[in-house]
Amino acid sequence: MKWTEISEDEVLMHAYQLGDFSAFETLYKRYSGRVLGYVRKKVMEPSQADDIFQSVFLKLHNSRQRYNSTLPVQPWLFTICRNAVLDYWRKTQRDQAVVQSDSIENIPAPTVEEARSLPDLSSLSAAQRKAIELRYIQDLSFEKISKILETSPSNTRQILSRAIRGLKNVMHKKEAS
Amino acid sequence: MKPNLWNDEFKEFVLAQEMHPDLSVTGKIHQVVRSELNPSWQKVSFKALMVHLLVGASLLSVCPQFGIGGFHGLEVVLMRFGHHVCTFICGAIFLGVSAMVIGLALQPEEMRVLRTLHWFPLLFLSLISLGIFHLLGANLFMSISLVWIVGALLGSFVGLQSGWNLQLRFRGLKPNAN
């Protein structure tokens, strides 16, 4: 029987910090099942769960020197695991937000009648007016608009998104009055 | 985060139903960890050499023989004990300080690899240093060079151990885990 198999987690972690691979192997054997079980419970998609599982052990490896060997291993590992799951959810939410802002691209250019009924653009800022004009009158791409406005494409999307929201508000007010 | 929530989630983690990870995922993780915990001796030697060149250059800049000086008093004191003693201490200080920084700078796994090479890295660094001294115009004689190397080996051995012990203390680790 190897010494690692009968050692406590903290002793193993200490050996691992000193560069002992077999200590890591034993810790992995002890906790990989539990980590994967927890991650699968939080993230249903198996391939995503596997990625998070992998990132947990790589984070454990990269931060092994920050571990305080006088403290228990399990809560520390759990914290890494929990943060990895939270990071995944944050990233997913961010991606969804980007997808939503991308949907501006799908808004069709207004027809002549629609354009006539559009409110006065003077309620918008100069950048918003310019962005609306470039996007819906000149039909330019976000990349080209961002170059003209000297900003990033994502910022251009934001400017357009705010402009449309501003126009909607003005129209609602107009309808109400 | 509220402590109760953390506790609840921790309990959930402890009681989670164990699942077997995919063998390919396990293999990938083991491969990364194994390769990082077992760096090649060439990589470790190169890192040690770079540290030595940096520290050695700094030491030479204040050396009474090669650099701007600053330790003339020390040289006078050491020369009172004779040329050989002075040379021995010169080697011990020069390599000792470098080795101490190496002991502080190398990762634990790199130190493990360095140790498996026994005296060779220290001898290698001593010979490289003598070669550089020669290029800088020093006259090297066999007996005095041997005394310098012996001093350098002993100094670097003590320096490396001291640097390593300091690193362990900073990291809050004990020298032997098992």
CA distance A92 to chain B (A): 21
For residue B178, the model assigns a pLDDT of: 40
For residue B100, the model assigns a pLDDT of: 94
Given an 8 Å threshold on Cβ–Cβ distance, is A17 in contact with B173?
yes
Q: Among B33, B107, B171, select the one facing A61 at the smallest CB separation.
A: B33
> What are the residues whose beta carbons fall under 8 Å from the beta carbon of A126, sequence distance 6 or more?
none
Computed over every residue of chain B, the mean pLDDT equals 85
Q: How many beta-carbon pairs below 8 A join chains A and B?
A: 94
Given an 8 Å threshold on Cβ–Cβ distance, is B19 in contact with A40?
yes
User: Is residue B165 very low, low, confident or very high in pLDDT (cuts 50, 70, 90)?
Assistant: very high
The per-residue pLDDT for range B92-132, each reduced to its tens digit, is: 988 999 999 999 999 999 999 998 888 888 888 888 888 88
- pLDDT above 70 for B142: yes
Nearest to A119 by CA among A172, A176, A177, A171: A171
The per-residue pLDDT string of chain A (177 residues; one tens digit each, 9 = 90 and over) reads 566 666 688 889 999 999 899 999 999 999 999 999 999 988 878 888 999 999 999 999 999 988 887 788 999 999 999 999 998 888 877 766 665 655 555 555 555 565 555 556 777 877 888 888 888 777 788 888 888 887 777 778 878 888 887 787 777 776 776
Asked if B32 has any chain A CB less than 8 Å from its own CB, the reply is yes
For residue A7, list chain B residues with Cβ-Cβ distance below 8 A: 178
As a whole number of angstroms, the distance between CA B21 and CA A170 comes to 56
Cβ pair B59, B95 in contact under 8 A? no
Residue linked to tokens 């190398």: B106
Computed over every residue of chain A, the mean pLDDT equals 81
Given an 8 Å threshold on Cβ–Cβ distance, is A53 in contact with B25?
yes
Record the tokens describing residue B108, joined without a space. Answer: 């634990």
Does residue B54 or residue A176 have the better pLDDT? B54
Asked if A76 has any chain B CB less than 8 Å from its own CB, the reply is no
Calculate mean pLDDT across residues B148-152: 90
Given an 8 Å threshold on Cβ–Cβ distance, is A24 in contact with B20?
no
Nearest to B144 by CA among B136, B132, B152: B152
For residue A58, list chain B residues with Cβ-Cβ distance below 8 A: 29, 32
For residue B66, the model assigns a pLDDT of: 62
As a whole number of angstroms, the distance between CA B176 and CA B168 comes to 10
For residue B106, the model assigns a pLDDT of: 92
ipTM above 0.85, yes or no: no
